[in-house]
Amino acid sequence: MDDLNEYIMDPSKTNPDYNWEDVLEGVRKSCAWNGRPGGALGSDDAMQWCIPLAYEQNNLTYNKRVFDANGLSVPTDLDSLVDTAAAAKAAMGDGYGIGVRGSRSWATIHPGFLSGYANFGQSDLTVGGDGTLSAAMNTDVSRNFHSKWVEMIQNSGAPDWSTHTWYQVGTDVGAGKSAMMFDADILGYFMNGGDNAEAGNLAFSAFKANPAAAAPTPNIWIWAMAMSSFSTKKDATWYFLQWVTGPEHQLFGAQDMDLVNPARSSVWADEMFRNKLSASYSGYVEMHDVSAPGASIKFTAQPLFFDLTTEWAAMLQRMVAGEVPVDEGLDMLAESVNSQLSEAGLR
């Protein structure tokens, strides 16, 4: 792929109204990396590998009908999330309290789990002064977070949690099988419409797992456009990218279509868009406003991403199944991660 900074900064090729700085900072920087393992996203020497069109944050979607009928309050931190999930399960009959992903995949670490984990100031890896990487999952704070997360799933999660991907988590909250989910906000958005049983009953809330944190820090997923280095029509490609990621097209998508979440600040400031959301998606606008400043990719950029996160998810499964205690499991995970980093010449 081409570094798009070359095009963005060229006034002869970029419309003066394109307004690159209008793209939300955390989203924009999450698409830029200097290519060095452990390099900070959005650093001064980073290449802009792609242009964001839309993204998702990870926050709470909850069933307002269930919460109102049972006098439940929307949880505001990890402890209250654990308690509320248990209370919701008790009130759900055949349902369960909270949906989170559990399959043996990097995607289990990516959504609610990493968003809550990062809110406690925790990271997947530590980057040394010399650029070497090492596991950071077995700190005392991480042990405490994992213990509560595992307890929540054991007591209040889906019986078949270890098979749950985006699809099962979303389908269950949309069908009224779960009382809430800590996952992608746009997943809740789509489950609140269509022919889902709970369409119109779902509401949204920004979630700050750490009560001492200043604000939520959701990990994000981004839909973006890039340019192939093999392209023979790069100027035409850049004109197309400007159009599809530009302010006019994103505003059209937000106002007239289902573009969620647009990546531009100006679109989020548009009253027609905000009113459209607020009319049918209770709390969505407020959730986004509170979370957007802290929203970014929380993973450390490095080439073993899929291997290490998939192993992390597998260890979570073992903890939830009671096969290994949390403390022992995290030490085993850290040892394995460090070994793989060493073999790859990254430690």
Per-residue pLDDT at 135: 98
CB distance 202 to 287 below 8 Å: no
Indicate the pLDDT class of residue 105, thresholds 50, 70 and 90: very high
Tens digit of each residue's pLDDT (9 = 90 or more) over 183-212? 999 999 999 999 999 999 999 999 999 999
Task: Count CA within 13 A, CB hemisphere, residue 161.
Answer: 30
If you average pLDDT over residues 264-274, what whole number do you get?
Answer: 98
Per-residue pLDDT at 305: 97
Tens digit of each residue's pLDDT (9 = 90 or more) over 280-292? 999 999 999 999 9
Percent of the chain with pLDDT over 90: 100
Per-residue pLDDT at 199: 98
- From the list 73, 86, 147, the residue with the least C-alpha distance to 117 is 147
Largest CA distance in the chain: 63
- For 26-57, b/e burial (b = at least 16 CB within 10 A) is bbbbbbbbeeebbbbbbeeebbbbbbbbbbbb
User: What Rg value do the Cα atoms of the chain yield, rounded?
Assistant: 21
**Which stretch of DSSP H or E encloses residue 331?**
helix 326-343
Per-residue pLDDT at 206: 98
pTM for the model? 0.96
If you average pLDDT over residues 163-181, what whole number do you get?
Answer: 98
Alpha-carbon gap, residue 221 to 131, rounded angstroms: 26
Percent of the chain with pLDDT over 70: 100
If you average pLDDT over residues 301-308, what whole number do you get?
Answer: 98
